[in-house]
A = this chain, B = another copy of it.
Amino acid sequence: MSTDTEPGRPVTRIQREKHELILEAALDVFSRYGFRGSTIDQIAEAAGMSKPNLLYYFKSKEDIHAPILARILETWLEPLREMNADGDPLPEIQSYIRRKLEMSRDFPRESRLFANEMLRGAPGFHEVLNTELKELVDEKAAVIKGWMNQGKIARCDPYHLIFSIWATTQHYADFDIQVRAVLGKARGGEGRFEDAARFLDQLFLHGLKPKK
Which residues of A does B touch, CB under 8 Å?
31-38, 90, 93, 112, 115-116, 118-122, 126, 129-130, 133-134, 137, 151-157, 159-164, 166-168, 170-172, 174-175, 177-179, 181-184, 187, 195-196, 198-200, 202-211
28 A-B pairs (CB sep. < 8 Å): A33-B120, A34-B37, A34-B116, A36-B38, A37-B37, A90-B209, A116-B119, A118-B175, A118-B177, A119-B174, A122-B178, A129-B177, A133-B178, A133-B182, A134-B181, A134-B184, A153-B209, A154-B209, A154-B210, A156-B199, A157-B199, A159-B195, A160-B195, A162-B182, A163-B172, A163-B175, A166-B171, A202-B207
**Residues in chain B near residue A207, CB distance under 8 A:** 154, 202-207
**Residues in chain B near residue A90, CB distance under 8 A:** 208-209
**Copies of the chain in the assembly:** 2
Q: Please name the residue on chain B nearest to A113 by beta carbon.
A: B119
In the bound complex, how far is the Cα of B196 from the Cα of A204, in angstroms? 15
A196 to chain B, nearest CB (A): 5
Is the beta-carbon distance between B160 and A164 smaller than 8 angstroms? no
In the bound complex, how far is the Cα of B205 from the Cα of A111, in angstroms? 29
Is the beta-carbon distance between B199 and A137 smaller than 8 angstroms? no
Q: Please name the residue on chain B nearest to A199 by beta carbon.
A: B160
Q: Please name the residue on chain B nearest to A169 by beta carbon.
A: B167
Q: Please name the residue on chain B nearest to A195 by beta carbon.
A: B157
**Residues in chain B near residue A155, CB distance under 8 A:** 202
**Residues in chain B near residue A118, CB distance under 8 A:** 174-175, 177-178
Q: Which of A151, A159, A160 has the most CB of B within 10 A?
A: A160
